[in-house]
A and B are shown apart, each in its own frame.
Chain A
Amino acid sequence: MVVQALAFYLFAIIAVISAAMVVTVRNPVHSVLFLILTFFNAAGLFVLLGAEFLAMLLVVVYVGAIAVLFMFVVMMLDINFVEMREGFLSYLPIGVLVAAVLFVELAFVGGGWVMTDAKMAAIAQPVPVGVNNVNAIGMLLYTDYAYIFQAAGLVLLTAMIGAIVLTLRHREGVRRQNISQQVQRQRAETLEIKKVPVGRGI
């Protein structure tokens, strides 16, 4: 139990600190690295919760794909991050004000939170007994929430079509590979033999 508690505090503290670093460090590459650290710690928290499949997914998908993509974007795009942060101070008072209002609201909400037995029963059981992670997620995704799953698939398809519609351009004069055509090429199509009379040029 003690080990578990220690592990929880370790993961939680590092996660919070590195999350704060993501938004405060100046170098965008460092900020992506801190983001990866946050993901790893969140994965650790998932393991502590008994959700090892989600933990693996988080590492594989977020660290393996999304963070790497971020890294590419940060390194390949020529974005002047210093310029983007200009005006930060002038917006700060309004930002702090809005944040304070929201915080007070949240405090009120938290104060009004009463957990009754009926509510506890209404909340879905997070860990079903005797079912492993993958089975549980599969049951939810493909049985109970099949409709949402399919609809989410349509949303992703729409996003894909949208990206293609808005960015794909068919450029003229691009040389594409056509293997059969290239293989079947005859000498006559590519070579032209000219007889050049001596001393006269073409």
Chain B
Amino acid sequence: MLNLGVALPEIFMAVASLALLMLGVFTGKDRSFRTVSWAAVGAMVIAVILVITGDNGSAFSGQFLADPFARFCKVLILTGSALGVIMSMKFAERERMARFEFPILLMLATVGMMAMVSASDMLSLYVGLELQSLALYVVAAIRRDTVRATESGLKYFVLGSIASGMLLYGMSMVYGFTGSTNFNVISDAVSNGGLSVGTLVGLAFIFAGLCFKVSAAPFHMWTPDVYEGAPTPVTAFFAVAPKVAGLALFVRVALGPFAHVVADWQQIIVLVSILSMVWGSFAALRQNNIKRLMAYSSIGHVGFALVGLAAGTEAGVQAVLVYLGIYLVMNIGTFAVILSMRRHDRMVEEIADLSGLSRTKPLMAAATALLMFSMAGIPPLAGFFGKFYVFKAAVDSGLITLAVIGLVTSVVSAYYYLRVIKVMYFDEPVEGFDRNGTELNVIMAVATIIIMVFVFFPNPLTDSAAAAASSLFGH
């Protein structure tokens, strides 16, 4: 049955991106950059409203599924994307990358991410993932005249294609051994006939491909280089929306078609999670570039989020979703700080450039310090609760070793977050940064306030995450 209503947000976003593309083309060159950008933000806001007010249900002969889980993730993705577009506008104009295609590519990537989290068929999963990835490869290299950006785009493209290849190979295995690409049919086949060797191999390949997409160790090699080389607002975008979409997709695949064989994939997730947490915290210790630091930090965060998935329970999924929500807020705030690191009209990216920020810009330093404390997971900030929920879920399902390793790496990672704070508060001040744009200050302030007051008002996030998680276990 063609049930178009449930896919309304995606259809709206796709049509809006086409309309804006026409607007950009016919108003000529890149004068329309600002108009198109704000229109893209407006479209994303409307899409959020459509998602919230939309119906649950499945469409397109079972290839598309809008359930509370998908809708929760779509709200996070759209929020992240919209903020990413807003943060990139000033930067793009100053760095001469203000091309109207940029917001349109981000919109198309967002459509891909929405399709990913709504996928209930291997084919729709793959097409959504490719739509997202292809748009991201291009925006990584959008400053085509700088060597670092093109290098990062190329690297991302080549390694991403290999990951897509692995994913497809795994899918073909699963299709061959279960006879369908539909998640429900696969799930039935697996629960009735047990997990055959072929399906298991397919499962391993699919997980490897997904690990690459969310940059979990040992498939993380591209992350630091791409984060460092891509223009900063693009990095900010990479660190937020695609991570949320990738992890949501991971949860969807693990607990959709393979929900009955948790014991078989749990060990893979546990291993990947431990490697990511350990590598994310130890490799970050000797980074001096703040974008590279954020890359390793994101690898570590993916590890923590996967702890919740490893639990394989409803509480675990809820913990992952809460973690993603908090991660989104913290990262948006931190990247607003990184985007304000300009001196004499040039971007600076070293941690040492933050020296003495407490004296040159006390408010920004305070916000950064709070964000870093939250990333490190120090109570009563929001980051603590994110970690608390995932570790609690892991302990409840008996993964005590995993939780302990998580705690230890969390302490190690606290070192490099605290180092940033130390540099800001105790090092000799260097020259102050240029004045910020209003939008960066607002985003920074709002993100900081959210992570501070989360302890008093956790319910909006935790309740909707609980509803989303239960929908995954409902059937």
Residues of A within 8 A of B (CB): 105, 108-109, 111-114, 116, 118-119, 122-124, 144-148, 150-152, 154-155, 157-159, 161-162, 164-167, 170
Looking at the complex, which of B177-185, B246-254, B381-389 is the stretch in contact with chain A? B177-185
Interface SS, A side: helix
Residues of B within 8 A of A (CB): 2, 7, 14, 18, 21, 29, 59-61, 63-64, 99, 101, 104-105, 108, 111-112, 115, 123-124, 127-128, 130-131, 134-135, 137-138, 141-142, 144, 153, 173, 177-180, 185, 189, 192-193, 196-198, 201
Residues of B near A158 (CB, < 8 A) are 105, 108, 131, 134-135, 138
Q: Using known A-B contacts A113-B198, A116-B193, A148-B63, determine if residue A155 contacts B179 with beta carbons closer than 8 Å.
A: no
Contact pick for A154, options B61, B131, B138, B197, CB 8 Å: B131
15 contacts between A and B (CB under 8 A): A109-B197, A112-B198, A113-B196, A114-B196, A116-B193, A119-B179, A148-B124, A151-B131, A152-B127, A154-B108, A155-B134, A161-B104, A162-B138, A166-B144, A167-B144
Q: In the complex, A152 Cα to B63 Cα: how many Å?
A: 14
Q: In the complex, A122 Cα to B190 Cα: how many Å?
A: 13
Contact pick for A109, options B60, B104, B173, B189, CB 8 Å: B173
Q: Are A148 and B123 in contact (CB under 8 A)?
A: yes
Q: Using known A-B contacts A116-B193, A165-B99, A166-B144, determine if residue A155 contacts B198 with beta carbons closer than 8 Å.
A: no
Most buried by A among B61, B137, B198: B198
Most buried by A among B124, B128, B134: B134
Closest to B127 in A: A151
Q: Using known A-B contacts A145-B63, A146-B60, determine if residue A165 contacts B128 with beta carbons closer than 8 Å.
A: no
Q: In the complex, A105 Cα to B193 Cα: how many Å?
A: 21
Question: A137 to nearest B CB, angstroms?
Answer: 15
Residues of A near B173 (CB, < 8 A) are 109
Residues of B near A123 (CB, < 8 A) are 179
Residues of A near B61 (CB, < 8 A) are 144
Q: Using known A-B contacts A113-B198, A147-B63, A154-B108, determine if residue A165 contacts B101 with beta carbons closer than 8 Å.
A: yes
Q: Are B198 and A151 in contact (CB under 8 A)?
A: no
Q: In the complex, A75 Cα to B60 Cα: how many Å?
A: 45
